[in-house]
Amino acid sequence: MCESNAYLKDGENEVMLMESVDSIEPYENGLKLMDSFGKEMFIKARIKNMNLLNHRIILEELPLTDL
């Protein structure tokens, strides 16, 4: 199967966020991720890089504003 896993970059670490990501699209100020079971996740992040051959999508959190 061709889904990738999504990781959130946290400093030097990469934290698993969602397995078997099927689709990603912009949503408000972040992204909507959906896995192959239809589960959705919303996160204030952007794509840092993705490598489909390695099945890895790395996201990074957007800076918080208005705080």
Give me the residues that bind a copy of itself (CB under 8 A), please.
Answer: 1-4, 21-26, 36, 46-53, 55
> Token pair for residue 65?
């504003």
In the bound state with a copy of itself, the residue whose beta carbon lies nearer, of 15 and 23, is 23
CB of 24 to a copy of itself, least distance (A): 5
What's the distance, CA 37 to chain centroid?
Answer: 16
Tell me the residue ranges of DSSP E strands in the chain: 4-10, 13-27, 30-35, 40-43, 45-51, 56-61
Smallest distance from the beta carbon of 26 to a copy of itself, in angstroms?
7
Q: Least distance from C-beta 66 to a copy of itself, angstroms?
A: 23
